[in-house]
Amino acid sequence: MLTKAITDIAKEVLTIEADSINRLKSRLNEEEFNKAIDLMYNCKGRVIITGMGKSGLIGKKIAATLSSTGTPSYFLHPAESTHGDSGMVTREDVVVAISNSGETQELLNLLPLIKRFNLPLIAMCGNFNSTLTHAADVKIDISVEKEACPINKAPTASTTATLAMGDALAVCLMEKRGFTAEDFLIFHPSGALGKSLLYKVSDLMRNDNLPIVNENENFLSTLETVSEHKLGLALITNSENKLTGILTDGDIRRTLLKYKNVENLQVKDAMTKSPKTVKESSYAAGALHTMEKYSITALPITDENSKPIGILHIHDLLKAGVA
């Protein structure tokens, strides 16, 4: 019989699980974690994730996350491994074994194979005084004070903590590899993410009636060009028609605040010099990454001679479903 409101129980569960993750931070052994990252980063084969029961389900997700973020990985069911699946294991692999107790028999049955192949073993374990951790080369603490279930038995907080630690490993490997948004999209060609990969800048850029102004043009007359084209900017070029700057709404506001009299001001005195540009052969997703990184809403497209041939606006990316 319920003794508490359903929502109160739900909040308790969320608090316990959130606390289990927060406690991982204080127990994170930097030396052991860095060893794990180095082993996985330098792995010439694949990272094998293995675990039984709920740990195995979490392991499948960790393996999927690693694979989709640049670290080749697969899940090996420890029970099936003794019935032929261990044939997938090569001598260049790294094994990550997940067990809260560290005494899961099906998992321990893998140890002879791991040792025979001399594979590095990373143990994600809640019990550091266990058979698994004693056999491991690297030990990562995923222990929790208690589960979120009322009888403290069902894997709840412990699986949440394990999943979070797996994400920490994956994200650190992404950073170490310099994994980019374009790299991510290569592994996600379907659905909304795939749209980003399908489009090149040349597919979405505007190349007709561009707001191009010579750098010696009067500032006030340039405002008319900006207003007429309704893109919130003008591309500024020199006498050789090479892009030397860009005048945006922000540049206009800053100029009006800086100068009391702008009647004789040239646009080159107000423009942003050497603006960020993109090539028409680039992926639209890469252009979006540049916009997000530098907090800009449009990118000039230039040819091999630095002459402007188009503009890619954030609105173009939104319409195409890239942003």
Q: What is the pLDDT of residues 277-304, one digit of tens each?
A: 999 998 888 888 899 999 999 999 999 9
Q: What is the DSSP letter of 154?
A: S
Comparing C-alpha atoms, which of 245, 269, 250 is closest to residue 259? 269
Query: 94-99 and 47-51 as β-strands: parallel, antiparallel, unpaired?
Result: parallel
Instruction: Identify the CATH class of 6-179.
Output: alpha beta
Measured between alpha carbons, how far is 137 from 122 in angstroms, rounded to an integer?
A: 6
How far, CA to CA in Å, does 86 sit from each of 76, 81, 117, 124? Answer: 8, 4, 11, 20
Tell me the per-residue pLDDT of 71-84, one tens digit each, with 9 for 90 and over: 999 999 988 876 65
Higher pLDDT, 194 or 311: 311
Position 269, amino acid: D
Tell me the per-residue pLDDT of 82-141, one tens digit each, with 9 for 90 and over: 665 677 888 999 999 999 999 999 999 999 999 999 999 999 999 999 999 999 999 999
Predicted TM-score (pTM) of this structure: 0.62
Task: Tell me: pLDDT of 196 over 60.
Answer: no
Query: Domain 201-320 in CATH: superfamily?
Result: CBS-domain (3.10.580.10)
Q: What percent of the chain has pLDDT over 90?
A: 74
Token output for 303: 């040819």
Residues 6 or more apart whose Cβ sits within 8 Å of residue 294: 276
- Which long-range contacts link 87-90 to residues 24+ away (Cβ below 8 Å)? 88/48, 89/48, 89/113, 89/117, 89/119, 90/45, 90/46, 90/117
Show the DSSP H helices in the chain as ranges. 6-27, 30-41, 54-68, 78-81, 105-108, 111-116, 131-135, 157-177, 181-186, 191-198, 201-204, 219-229, 249-258, 284-294, 314-320
Show the DSSP H helices in 2-138 as ranges. 6-27, 30-41, 54-68, 78-81, 105-108, 111-116, 131-135
Lowest mean pLDDT among 84-93, 179-188, 206-215: 179-188
pLDDT at 183: 65
Q: Where are the domains of the chain?
A: 6-179, 201-320
Q: What is the DSSP letter of 99?
A: E
Q: What is the mean pLDDT of residues 211-223?
A: 94
Please count the other Cβ atoms lying within 10 Å of the Cβ belonging to residue 275.
21
Higher pLDDT, 31 or 4: 31
φ, ψ (nearest 5 deg) of residue 37: -60, -45
Banded model confidence at residue 195, pLDDT cuts 50, 70, 90: low
**How high does pLDDT run on average in the chain?**
90
pLDDT at 70: 86
166-202 burial, b at 16+ Cβ within 10 Å, e below that, comes to bebbbebbbeeeebeebebbeeeeeeebebbbebbbb
Residues in the chain: 323
Higher pLDDT, 159 or 3: 159
Decide if 256 contacts 262 (C-beta within 8 A). yes
